[in-house]
Chains A and B, each alone.
Chain A
C-alpha cells in the first residue's frame, strides 16, 4: 500500500536538463516543487573527481555513469514480423542515469536546428511537391517556429556559456560562422575553442573545396564564464575524456555546473533520488493528473499528489510512463491512429576513416574536447537542392574527433588481421596518424509509419512492468542520404592528404549493437492539433492538460544536429508558457 505524502504544487519526473530548467523556473515563481529521480545524486567532487575520472574501461565500456540494462532495458526488432528481443547490453545508444541525466556525460555539442527544420513538411512539399516525399514518411511541422524558440536558444546557450562563432547575427552573415544558421539575436556567450591539428587541417581542406567551415558550438568552454544565475564554469583543458565521462574540471556545461547549485538552495525545491516513478495517477475522468506513485530503493511505495506533473525523463521512458499510465491513445501502425509511440526516430550517422602517412602526420588525437572540430553545413537540412538526389534531409559534416582514447581508437587499414604481430604493428603505426570520427556525418532521421514504440508483450523490468518495444529500421531515404554525405566527407579527407580513405556509410538493417548516438526522439510529439500530435506547441498534453512532457520525445522527426540545444530551448519555451499563462489560468493553453 502506497504511503500518501503531502501535496506539492508540482512534481517533476527526472532531474536532468529539462527537469532542472523547469524546476528552477517554477520554484522561482513561488511553487513548491519536488523532483523524483530514478538514479543517484551525482556530484563532480564525489562521482567524477580529477584523480580517476579518466577511466575508459569503467565509464565508456562498463557504463558506470549510465542506466544499466539490469535496471531498465528495451526490446528491439527491425519490423513487426519479428519477435522483439531484449537489449541485454547497450550498443546503438546509451542512456543516462542519475541527477543531471544525459547532461552529465554528453559531449556538449550545442546546436540550434535550422528554421526550415521546424516546418519540414510544409517547406519540402512547397519546394519539391507533395509527391516528392516517400508515401510512408510521416514528417510534419512542429507547431513552433525557429523565431518562437530563438530567445530560448539564447537563454540555454547563456545558461551553458556555449563557445562558438556566430554565422548569422540579426540577419547579417558573419565570417567564420555557419552562414546557414538562423538569425541569432546576439553572439555566443564565449568565443570558439582552440582547435587541434586534424580539426584545423579539415577546415583548410573544406575551404579549398569551396565550403564554409565553422567551429562546432561547444559546451566545453573556451574560457571561464559566469552565467546569469551566477554560477561559474572553468576553461576546458582538452583532456579528451568528455563524452561518457563526467567533467572533473567544471568546464563542461551540465546541470551540475550551471543550474543545480542555485536550484538546490531554493527553499521551494526538493529532490528525491533513487526513487523510480511507477506511473502518473489520473482522477476518475482520466483528464487530470493527480500526481505520481513511486518506489524508493528499499522497495517502499509512495504516492506524491501534485497539481502539475512534468514528465522530464529520457525520451523512451517518457513514452513508457505515458503508456503505463494510460494517458493518450497508443499508436497503431496498421491504422496510423493513436499518438503515443508514433514518429519514433533516431539519428543517421556515418563516417569514413582516413589513414595518413605516419612520417608526415601526427594528429595527437587525445588532445580534444567533447565538441571540438570544424563542420560544414552545405549538406544539412534543405540547404542544398534535393530535386535530383532522390532523398530529403541531410546533416552536418565535420572532423569533430573528440578523443584518442585507446579502446575506442583501434582503427587499422582494411586487410589487417584482427590479431597477431601484423595487427599489433598496424595499431602502432596508425594510432597517431589516422582520422577516426564516428559521427563525422551527423544527419537527420525522418519519421515513418512503421517505426514506432509500444509496450513489449513478453519482457518485463525488475518491477514486472513491460519494457518499451522499439520497432525500427533504416529506410531508403536515409540510406541514400548517408551514402551521399559520406562521399562528401571522404572527398574532404582526400583533400586533407589521406593516403587511404575507408568509407562507412550507414546501411540497413538497423543494428542495435552498433552505436549511433543516443539521440532517440519522438513517441509523444508536439504539433498543431490532437489529430496529429500528443502535445501542443507548449509541450502540454492534449489529453491531460496539467501534464507537460519535456525533451526530444516531442520532436516530430529528428534533424541533422545534436538535439540538446533544441531540448533546452523547448524547456525554456514551455517553462515560460507555464509560468506566464498556465499558472494564471490552469487549463489547455491551446484549444483543439
Chain B
C-alpha cells in the first residue's frame, strides 16, 4: 500500500491555486493541498485608550453600568477595571456592532419568543438608542442626574428596573437592552483579554480557568487536583507583562 505521513505529503505536493477572476476568493484546488505562507488571519489585539464607537458620555454610562453588573471586590476587579466597556466599544465598532454576519433582510415583524429576536436594529444602533433613553429615564426620576452620576444603590435600582421591566424607556424595550448589555459584559469579562476585557486574565484567575493551554496530557490523570500552570491567553502570559 502507498503510505506517507502528513509532513512528507505537505512537502512534496504540488499546489495549484488559480483565481477564477481577479479580486474573487473562488479558487480551483487540485494537485495537492493548497497552502501559502502569511495567509492566516490572527485576531487584532485591542489597544486600550480612547473610544472607537461610544461618545464620552455613552462611555461613562457603560463604564458605570458594567461596574454594577460585575462590581469590584477585594480579590477581583470589577467590570470597569477589567475593561468590559472597552470590550463592548470595540465590538460595536466592528462586524458585531454592524450585525454583519446576521440575516438582516426584511420584512421585520415580531414573532413568538421561540422564533428569536427580529429587530431591524444593529447592535450598535441598539446601544445608541437605549443609552440615550436610559439617561433620559434617569434624569426624569433622579432630579436631572444621568445614570453615571447616580449612587451605587440608585444604579442598582435602575438596573433591576430594566431587568424586571418596571423601568420603561421611552419608545424602547428596556428588558431586551438589559439582556444585551448583560451578555456583552459577561463576554467581555470572560473572553480572551486580546479583545479588551478580562484585563490581566483577572476573571480567569478568579474562577480557576488556566486559559488557552494546548496540552493537558500531564494532567488528565491528576483527578481532583488544582492545576498549578500559569494562566495564559492568546497573547497573554504572566511573564510578558512584568
Residues of A within 8 A of B (CB): 40-41, 43, 45-47, 49-52, 54-58, 61-63, 68-70, 73, 76-78, 82-83, 85-89, 91, 194-197, 200, 226, 228, 230-232, 235, 237-241, 248-250, 260-261, 264-265, 267, 269-275, 296-298, 300, 361-364, 366-367, 404, 406-407, 410, 418-421, 423-425, 427-428, 431-432, 458-460, 509-513
Contact = CB atoms under 8 A, between A and B. Distances in A.
Given A43-B35, A298-B23, A510 B114 contact: yes
A335 B185 CA distance: 50
A89 B117 contact: yes
Chain B, interface SS category: loop
A431 B207 contact: yes
Given A70-B103, A87-B116, A420-B68, A296 B207 contact: no
Contacts of A200: 223
Given A87-B103, A421-B73, A261 B6 contact: yes
A513 B116 contact: yes
Given A238-B220, A420-B156, A264 B25 contact: no
Report, nearest first, the 6 A-B pairs whose CB atoms are least far apart: A296-B26, A197-B223, A69-B103, A230-B3, A431-B207, A68-B101
B158 interface: no
A88 B204 CA distance: 31
Contacts of B221: 194
B104 A70 contact: yes
B21 A298 contact: yes
Contact of B207 (A40, A231, A428, A513): A428
B102 interface: yes
Interface string B23-49: 111111111111100011111000000
A432 B205 CA distance: 12
B21 A296 contact: yes
Contacts of A271: 28-30
Interface string B91-116: 00001100011111101010111111
Interface stretch (B53-61, B132-140, B143-151, B190-198): B190-198
Contacts of A82: 111-112
Contacts of B96: 62
A77 B219 CA distance: 46
B214 A239 contact: yes
19 contacts: A52-B42, A57-B187, A77-B111, A87-B103, A88-B102, A196-B220, A226-B5, A230-B4, A231-B6, A265-B9, A271-B30, A273-B26, A274-B25, A297-B24, A366-B209, A410-B190, A424-B76, A428-B206, A511-B113
A275 B116 contact: no
B203 interface: yes
Nearest to B115: A85
Contacts of B195: 57
Nearest to A433: B208
A407 B190 CA distance: 6
Nearest to A268: B30
B224 A197 contact: yes
Nearest to A200: B223
A362 B224 contact: yes
Contacts of B5: 226, 230-232
Contacts of A232: 5-6
A424 B217 contact: no
A273 B29 contact: yes
B128 interface: no
B206 A300 contact: no
Contacts of A364: 219, 225, 227
Contacts of B103: 69-70, 73, 86-89
B230 to A, nearest CB: 14
B180 interface: no
Given A52-B42, A264-B31, 10 more contacts: A41-B27, A57-B195, A62-B101, A196-B220, A250-B6, A264-B30, A264-B33, A273-B27, A428-B206, A432-B207
Contacts of A407: 186-187, 190-191
Contact of A230 (B1, B27, B70, B227): B1
B159 interface: yes
Given A43-B34, A56-B192, A265-B32, A78 B114 contact: yes
A458 to B, nearest CB: 7
B82 to A, nearest CB: 11
A541 B7 CA distance: 40
Contacts of B214: 50, 54, 237, 239, 248-249
A401 B109 CA distance: 38
Contacts of A41: 27, 29, 34
